[in-house]
Each structure stands twice: as structure tokens, then as C-alpha cells.
Amino acid sequence: MKYIFLTGGVVSSLGKGLTAASLGTLLEARGLKVALQKFDPYLNVDPGTMSPFQHGEVYVLDDGAETDLDLGHYERFTHSELTQFNNLTSGRVYQTVLEKERRGDYLGKTVQVIPHVTDEIKQRVKEVGEQSGADVVITEIGGTTGDIEGLPFLEAIREFALECGRGNSIFVHVTYVPYIRAAGELKTKPTQQSVAKLREIGIVPDILVCRTEKPINEEMRQKISLFCNVPVDGVIEEIDVEHSIYEVPLMLQREKMDALVCQELGLETSPADMSEWEAVIQRIIKPQHQVRIGVIGKYIHLQDAYKSVYEAVTHAGGANDCAIEIVRVDSEDIERDGAAAHLADMDGILVPGGFGERGVEGKVLAAQYARENNVPYLGLCLGMQIACIEFARHALGLDGAHSAEFDAQTPHPIIALLDEQQNITDMGGTMRLGAQACALTPGSKAAELYGTEEINERHRHRYEFNNAYREQFEAQDFVFSGTSPDGNLVELIELKNHPYFMATQAHPEFKSKPVQAHPLFAGFIKAAHERANGN
Ligand code: GLN
């Protein structure tokens, strides 16, 4: 088994996760099986308890693990099968070590960062490799070189590389080469310093991926090579992509990064066949048509809060030959100005998941606008709950209808706490999480789109549709088009006599891929396209 360790230098937000995922794409296209994993040095046991302001989106896996959003890139770019073991935080490491200490597993020893914490980290690299049966394990270390909290991880991968023997592992350092406008120059000093920092702890990078906004010329490559002690063909330029993040693998291929990685690891393969990937990208970046989609949320100012949603919409655009203009609308602006002021130009309205009361009324107005004006609507998790509240208030006349999450005293708790949640007090990892089966109603739009009547989608919620109200809804144009197999939990709803009004309690965005747009998103964009451009 071969191992690639990916670290980051100079600044955060360099797209390390994208780089790791793109390398995975290329290695798979060479016929190799890859496994990807992410180490996060913070002390939260998982990111599930963190606000999107802190952390961006929480990505959910089939097994219910709440993980870093980089795992979303891994799944979208590769076939790597991910479980809770593919994301490890310092918090989880310490939790495990301390449990062992309490059990007496350390047999009277002093428990220390080296070797006990580092052993735990190394063990995880080994386990992910063994369980996946992969040819190559790509491990991304979160944070930036020089962070105090990252040190045990760096020490662990240094030891790991030593122990697995020469030629079996490489270090890739993703760094930043800033362009200083006033000087008209790219600067290599931060990269030199970051590499020096790594060398201090005994890690010598084999490959430097240089994130830059301007091309790195030959002279610059020579300079980076010399000062950073990396062969010149190991200096890889990763320039900002023009159109789409899905171009990154092709860019790295042009830089011959995959060939170099295989050479260094002694992996003999044929060149990467990227023809299918290229075809997908062409559809994404050169579409015939255009649609405008309003995404209504309270974290719309954050780049990463609805990451998978934006990606899934992009994939659906590719599938429908449409460029997507995503208009991020703050739900509180709708509360202030009314829905028409912000949504009149939209071809589709999407309300993603969320927690907490702020901005909820704006989302209700957005759902009402979509329903009454025949604008395609897609509701995800909270977006489904919102659609139900809106329908109850305005179509069924149930004044004050609400979710018990936002109004404990509501006369009509259309959305109520799941039974299984009644006695839960801990916040971490206790929602209804991960893949849940769902039976679709024959003849529904959802069944038509999925092309099957049994589906599985990922979840992350505490509240559900209140079954006491089902009959009232069903008497109208409202269709419960998917439920848990026992019929108990409402999973999908849609409206009759509307071009496309679909909402799900699940998070289908987590299962959309560029090569395979998700049916609910594809159907949504198709309807938006029909609205915008006619049939
Ligand atoms: N806050 C809602 C719930 O807990 C919706 C969650 C979500 O959108 N992920 O049920």
C-alpha cells in the first residue's frame, strides 16, 4: 500500500481538499483504487457542533458521520467509500486516548503526545488503508503548517513515512505563491518559510503544489526548486481555475503531477484516461442556456455554508445544458422587502437546510411566492419543513402554524420533534443522521424522477412532519410522495398542479456528483429551464 500525505502552508483556504480530491481523480483514472481521509487538528470531536460561520457546511456520510466539507470533494471527485473513519479530529484522538487511559490500557505508563497520541493517528492511517483495500491512501492534514495544534499530526505522518519504508510514501505540500501587484511579481518567500518549517520537524516535501493567480515561469520554478529542495518537476503550478473547480484534475494532469506521484511511489499504470471527466466539464462550462436560481438562506454571505447545495445545482446544470446563475438571497432581506422584491427574476427557488429561528419567516415567504407564482421550488430538510408550514398557514388557513423548533407555543405544530429525540440532551452526534430508507408513492413526481420506488438519502435533523395534520394536507393539492418504509416519517412532499414543487426531509445534495446529477436537482433545473426558456 502506498501513502500520500498532503499538508498546507502559508494560508488556509488554498483548496487543499480540492487538490487531494483531484489527485484522487487522476489516480483512479489510472486504474488505481484510492482512499481519502482528512485529519483536522481542532478539538471538537467532529464538526457537527460547529456553526457554519466557524466551519462552513457539515458534510454527512451514509453512516451518519458529521464530517468536514472536504469529504464532500472526495466523494464528488472519486469513488472512495467514506465512513466516520475517514475524518479524524484531535478531539476524537484525545477522546480515544483518554478512554484507553481510564480503562487502564496503558498499563501504568505516563500517557504522552508522543507516542500515545501519535500512535493513535498512525493507527488511523493504517486502518483506512486496510479497510478500503486501496492501492493508495491520500491523507490530508487540515490547518496550516506552523499551527501548534497541527504538530502531533505532522509528527505522526513523519513517523509513519519512516516506518512504511522508502518509496512507499510521499509528502505533498500545498503552498501559496502570492502575486504582489505593486511589484508586478510573484513571491516565493512564504513558500520557502513554510517548507523550512516542515523540514524543522523532519518532513521534506517531495512535491510542492503552488497555488497562484499568475503563471509560474521556468525561472520561478527553478528558484522554488532550489530554495525548497524539491526537484524542479516537483514544482506544480495550480493556478486559479477560470470556470469550474472540476477543471483542477485536468490542470494537475497537464502539470504531470499524477505521473510524478506514480513514479515516486513506484506505481506502474497506464496514463490517466480523463475523457469522461472532460466531457462532463464541457457540459458544465459551455452550456447553451442559462437559468437563475435563488438560494434563500441566512448564511449566504459565507462561501462554504451551502457548498454541496451549490455543487449539486451545478451538476444539474450540466445535465440540462444550462449555466446556473446562483443568486444568494438573505432570508432576512425578504422579511424586510417582501419576496417579490428579491425573487421576481428567479427561474427557480431553493431553500436549503438550517437551524434556529433567525430568517425563517423570510423562507416561508419565499416558499409562498414559489407556490403561488408557479416558480419551481426545491426544499431541502428545513426547506421541506418551511414548505409545510407555509402550506398550513396560507392554503389550509391554520393561523400561527409553525415548527416546534421555532415556536414551542404554536397552536399548530406542523413540524414537531421526532419521538426518538424526546429525551436527548447531548448535542453532538445525536440528530437523526445518515442514510435512511424511503418508500416513494407510486405515480408521484418523485418516483418518476428517481426511476424507482425505494431510495436511500442522507439525513441530519431533529424535527419531522406532524402526522396529525396529514389528512388535512392530503385533502388539498399536497402529496406526501415519500415516507419511511413503515409509513411513519414524511420524507418527501410535492404539489399537484404546480410545474415543480418538491421538498425533502433529506439532504440529497450530499449524493450528487458531477458525472451523475441528483434526480431531484436535475428535475428542478429542468423545470427552471422550461420556465426561463420555454420547452
Ligand atoms: N432544524 C431542522 C431540524 O432539526 C432542519 C435541519 C436541517 O435542515 N438540516 O429538523
DSSP string, 16-53: HHHHHHHHHHHHHHTT--EEEEEEE-SSSSSGGGS-HH
> Quick one: pLDDT at residue 49?
87
Give the residue from 325, 332, 320 showing the smallest Cα distance to 294: 325
Q: How many whole angstroms from 387 Cα to the centroid of ligand 1?
A: 13
How many C-beta neighbours within 10 Å does residue 430 have?
A: 13
406 lines ligand 1 (CB under 6 A): no
Residue located nearest, by CA, to atom 9 of ligand 1:
353
Q: Which of 57, 342, 509, 518 is catalytic?
A: 509
* pTM, two decimal places: 0.93
57 lines ligand 1 (CB under 6 A): no
Query: Distance of alpha carbon 421 from its chain centroid, rounded?
Result: 26
- Listed in sequence order, the residues at least 6 apart from 457 whose beta carbon sits closer than 8 Å to its beta carbon are 435, 436, 438, 491, 504, 506, 507, 508, 511
299 lines ligand 1 (CB under 6 A): no
With the most atoms of ligand 1 within 8 angstroms of its CB, the residue from 419, 460, 491 to mutate is 460
**What is the distance between the alpha carbons of residues 141 and 143, in angstroms, rounded to a whole number?**
7
Give the residue from 215, 209, 221, 208 showing the smallest Cα distance to 239: 215
Q: Are 175 and 19 in contact (CB under 8 A)?
A: no
**What is the distance between the alpha carbons of residues 499 and 256, in angstroms, rounded to a whole number?**
47
Element (H, E) at 294: strand 289-297
Q: pLDDT means per 10 residues in the chain (535 residues)?
A: 96 92 97 96 90 86 94 95 94 96 94 96 95 95 93 97 94 96 92 95 96 94 94 96 91 97 96 92 88 92 88 95 94 96 97 93 97 97 97 96 95 92 86 95 96 96 95 94 95 96 97 95 97 82
Element (H, E) at 431: none
Residue located nearest, by CA, to atom 1 of ligand 1:
355
- Listed in sequence order, the residues at least 6 apart from 222 whose beta carbon sits closer than 8 Å to its beta carbon are 232
**What is the distance between the alpha carbons of residues 403 and 353, in angstroms, rounded to a whole number?**
14
> Quick one: pLDDT at residue 425?
84
Annotation marks residue 381 as catalytic: yes
Scanning the structure block, which residue is given the C-alpha cell 418516483? 447
354 lines ligand 1 (CB under 6 A): yes
Q: Which of 55, 412, 507, 529 is catalytic?
A: 507
Burial (Cβ within 10 Å: 0-12, 13-18, ≥19) of residue 138:
buried
Q: Which of 381, 412, 464, 494 is catalytic?
A: 381
Label residues 237-266 b or e (16+ Cβ within 10 Å = b).
bbbeeeeebbbbbbbbbebebbbbbbebbe
Q: Are 348 and 525 in contact (CB under 8 A)?
A: yes
- Listed in sequence order, the residues at least 6 apart from 196 whose beta carbon sits closer than 8 Å to its beta carbon are none
> Quick one: pLDDT at residue 535?
58
Q: Are 153 and 125 in contact (CB under 8 A)?
A: no
Q: Are 46 and 428 in contact (CB under 8 A)?
A: yes
Write the DSSP symbol of residue 270.
Answer: P
- How wide is the angle at C-alpha 221 spanned by C-alphas 216 and 224, nearest 5°? 115
339 lines ligand 1 (CB under 6 A): no
Give the residue from 3, 8, 28 showing the smallest Cα distance to 19: 8
Q: Are 69 and 24 in contact (CB under 8 A)?
A: no
Would you call 325 helix, strand, or coil by DSSP? strand
Gyration radius (Cα) of the chain, Å: 25
Q: Are 343 and 369 in contact (CB under 8 A)?
A: yes
Residue located nearest, by CA, to atom 3 of ligand 1:
461
In terms of residues, how long is the chain?
Answer: 535
Would you call 311 helix, strand, or coil by DSSP? helix
Partners of 513 in the beta sheet?
516
**What is the distance between the alpha carbons of residues 522 and 244, in angstroms, rounded to a whole number?**
18
What is the residue type of 172?
A: V
Q: How many whole angstroms from 276 Cα to the centroid of ligand 1?
A: 36
379 lines ligand 1 (CB under 6 A): no
317 lines ligand 1 (CB under 6 A): no
**What is the distance between the alpha carbons of residues 424 and 277, in angstroms, rounded to a whole number?**
45
Q: Are 41 and 149 in contact (CB under 8 A)?
A: yes
Q: Are 346 and 375 in contact (CB under 8 A)?
A: yes
CA dist 398 → 393, 430, 492 (Å): 5, 31, 21
Cell numbers for 266, please give them.
Answer: 513506484
Would you call 213 helix, strand, or coil by DSSP? coil
**What is the distance between the alpha carbons of residues 137 and 304, in angstroms, rounded to a whole number?**
26
